[in-house]
Amino acid sequence: MTSSNRPLSGKVALVTGSARRIGRESALLLAREGAHVVVHARSSRDEIEAVAAEIRAEGGAATALLADITVEAEVQRLVDAILGETGRLDILVNNAAVRGEKPLVELDLATFRAVYSVIVEGAFLVTRAAVPAMARNGFGRIISIGGVSAHSGVSHRVHVATAKAALVGFTKALAIEFGAQGITANLVVPGRIGGPRSATSGAGGAFPGGGFLPVGHEGAPRNVAEIVRTLALPSGDFITGQTLHVNGGMYLP
């Protein structure tokens, strides 16, 4: 398939927190569909440069940019840099997150706010900065990554579950406000995903029933990224405001 007939050819995608796991896989898959992908991290320059290099090695286009998405000025610089280089921004994957585990009675306000700031305020700031460019072109895909703990409940992660739950309302509000402008908004909720975790991720939390998986195995980052790719395609224009669970049956809404 040549670059000219890939479905996302000519589109630009920003995947926040795309140095590893779901973010990295989403960046790779969007690039394979023809998008120019902006690989992002707060500070992991070597890792995002490696992801961008992997995309380029496959014949795709990629840019690696650092930004603290909890800082309004840095978010605006990030989006301005993308628009300055490519002239557009069509797809946003709000993937960046911090997690960790701590019992409620030991959870200090600073830690609660730090998690909420990245997951919710970061998504808000980046989305607000990106939407005008999407609206100008009459095409936009906003895909946020949720967490099953926000739906099933979980021990020692009240800060994470609270922040991820906020993305449900965020997504629905965006879908209503911007649907007429060709912009969709959806939430993809992973279940238990295997593979190496970052130091801030914790062990994965104690889910009801021990995280029983009817399919008999954990998921892989690619399982989630495939849904992100589907939602990002032009053919995803009739899916909006939805919460899509990718969890092997461990939580059934």
Instruction: Give the Cα separation of 154 and 204 in Å (integer).
Output: 10
φ/ψ bin of 244: left (φ > 0), alpha (ψ from -120 to 50), beta (otherwise): beta
pTM for the whole structure:
0.93
- Give the pLDDT band of residue 64 (cuts 50, 70, 90): very high
Out of 92-96, 195-199, 214-218, 241-245, least confident range: 195-199
The tens digit of pLDDT for each residue in 134-180 reads 999 999 999 999 999 999 999 999 999 999 999 999 999 999 999 99
What are residue 138's phi and psi, to 5 degrees?
65, 25
CA angle 193, 222, 11 (to 5 degrees): 135
The tens digit of pLDDT for each residue in 71-95 reads 999 999 999 999 999 999 999 999 9
Task: Count Cβ atoms below 10 Å from residue 164 Cβ, excluding itself.
Answer: 27
Q: Which residue has the tokens 């195995």?
A: 217
The full length of the chain comes to 253
Out of 4-8, 47-51, 100-104, 156-160, least confident range: 4-8
